[in-house]
């Protein structure tokens, strides 16, 4: 029997009045203390919804890594007690917290300024997770980055950037295969070279898999990069399939055309048929958690659970149980 926590990222749509963090501009003095109040409220919502995995906003500590706004650099130290209290609540509820810096955090950039900014941001994210007292499963997910100069040079730059990180930041970092430049094979090479786990993104794998690795094998290879005693995680999403109409006025005439979606674009919801087929075909021998990446956020997670419930699946203490496991428990 394998168990899976399902999670979602950042925005809460299922209940009003739950912003993810302090979004004020720097001129208004945003602070981690405000963000932690909002995270407390989100944790209460997660407990009510029986959700046990959540990706926090990367900007939880606003401007904490900004090189010129040094007045924000002390937020984590200033909130030591609040971080410990919020983290204790998350751990007591069994909620797995993580972060995922975005496209501007490029550890292998050719630009020294961009590399410096990436190192600073990753240090902040690791310090937040440490301050929250998250166990090793509380990770910072990062794409390998830019492919300038070719794959080999790009991976060399990533390894060099990784060596610049503190031991704390290196311990939190995991790498994800992307949908354009670095497939699972590249992520596995980084894992072997740097000793970091791999977060396998199923949709990215279908968009960019130059080595032709079947999904079940890809999942197995990624899970094997995680240390024993630490529950791995993966990303799962469904591609957008809707065709949109584009209207363009030319004089008195309106011309219409149809725009096909890109496979890599996330759908609002998770396809329950594809998700169940994935679980059945994967057949891993190890527990792993599944971060759902969908535009509808927690609403997509709740809808998927509802749909799977009609197929005999159940959720108990935040863990998805298969029909066989749910039947045995009954």
In a domain, 15, yes or no: no
Which DSSP state fits 285? Answer: S
- Residue 159: the pLDDT is 98
Split into its structural domains, the chain has a count of 1
Residue 22 and residue 37: Cα distance in Å, rounded?
A: 9
- Residue 213: the pLDDT is 96
Query: What 3-state DSSP class applies to 70?
Result: helix
- Residue 327: the pLDDT is 56
CA-based nearest residue to 216, from 258, 259, 277: 277
Residue range(s) defining the domain that contains residue 319: 100-329
Write b or e for each residue in 46-63: b if 16 or more Cβ atoms lie within 10 A of its Cβ, otherwise e: bbebebbbbbbbbbbbbb
In a domain, 21, yes or no: no
Q: Look up residue 118 and give its two tokens.
A: 């990436």
Residue 198 and residue 229: Cα distance in Å, rounded?
A: 15
- Residue 329: the pLDDT is 55
Average pLDDT across each block of 10 residues of the chain; the chain has 330 residues. List them in order: 91 96 96 98 98 98 96 97 98 98 95 97 98 98 96 97 98 97 97 98 96 95 96 95 82 81 85 94 86 98 96 92 65
Query: What CATH number is given to the structural domain containing 211?
Result: 3.20.20.150
In a domain, 80, yes or no: no
Q: Which residue has the tokens 């949709």?
A: 203
Which DSSP state fits 26? Answer: G
Sign of CA dihedral 312, 12, 62, 264: positive
pTM of the model: 0.92
> Could you tell me how far CA 299 lies from the centroid of its own chain?
17
> Could you tell me how far CA 25 lies from the centroid of its own chain?
24
- Residue 178: the pLDDT is 96
In a domain, 8, yes or no: no
In a domain, 18, yes or no: no
CA-based nearest residue to 57, from 71, 85, 30, 38: 38
- Residue 259: the pLDDT is 76
In a domain, 270, yes or no: yes
Instruction: Evaluate whether 99 touches 64 at the Cβ level (below 8 Å).
Output: no
Which DSSP state fits 220? Answer: H
- Residue 1: the pLDDT is 65
- Residue 253: the pLDDT is 85
- Residue 128: the pLDDT is 98
Write b or e for each residue in 68-92: b if 16 or more Cβ atoms lie within 10 A of its Cβ, otherwise e: eeeebbebbeebeebbeebbebbbe
In a domain, 202, yes or no: yes
In a domain, 61, yes or no: no
Q: Look up residue 94 and give its two tokens.
A: 């069994």
């Amino acid at each position: 029997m394998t168990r899976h926590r399902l999670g979602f990222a950042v925005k809460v749509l299922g209940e009003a009045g739950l912003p993810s963090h302090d979004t004020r501009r720097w001129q208004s003095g945003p602070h981690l203390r405000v963000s932690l109040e909002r995270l407390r409220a989100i944790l209460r919502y997660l407990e009510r919804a029986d959700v046990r995995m959540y990706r926090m906003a990367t900007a939880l500590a606003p401007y904490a890594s900004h090189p010129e706004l040094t007045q924000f650099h002390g937020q984590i130290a200033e909130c030591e007690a609040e971080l410990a209290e919020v983290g204790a609540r998350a751990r007591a509820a069994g909620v797995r917290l993580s972060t995922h810096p975005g496209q501007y955090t490029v550890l292998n950039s050719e630009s020294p300024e961009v590399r410096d900014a990436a190192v600073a941001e990753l240090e902040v994210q690791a310090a937040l997770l440490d301050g929250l007292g998250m166990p090793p499963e509380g990770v910072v997910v990062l794409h390998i980055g830019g492919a300038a100069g070719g794959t080999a040079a790009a991976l060399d730059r990533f390894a060099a950037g990784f060596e610049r990180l503190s031991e704390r930041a290196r311990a939190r970092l995991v790498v994800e295969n992307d949908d354009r430049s670095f497939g699972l094979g590249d992520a596995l090479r980084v894992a072997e070279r740097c000793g970091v786990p791999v977060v396998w993104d199923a949709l990215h794998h279908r968009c960019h898999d130059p080595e032709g690795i079947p999904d079940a094998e890809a999942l197995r290879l990624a899970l094997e990069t995680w240390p024993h005693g630490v529950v791995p995680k993966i990303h799962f999403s469904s591609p957008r399939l809707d065709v949109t109409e584009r209207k363009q006025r030319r004089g008195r005439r309106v011309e219409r055309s149809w725009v096909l979606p890109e496979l890599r674009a996330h759908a609002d919801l998770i396809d329950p048929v594809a998700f169940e087929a994935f679980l059945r075909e994967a057949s891993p021998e190890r527990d792993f958690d599944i971060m759902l990446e969908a535009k509808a956020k927690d609403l997509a997670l709740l809808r998927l659970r509802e749909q799977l419930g009609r197929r005999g699946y159940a959720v108990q203490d935040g863990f998805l149980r298969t029909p066989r496991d749910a039947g045995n428990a009954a």
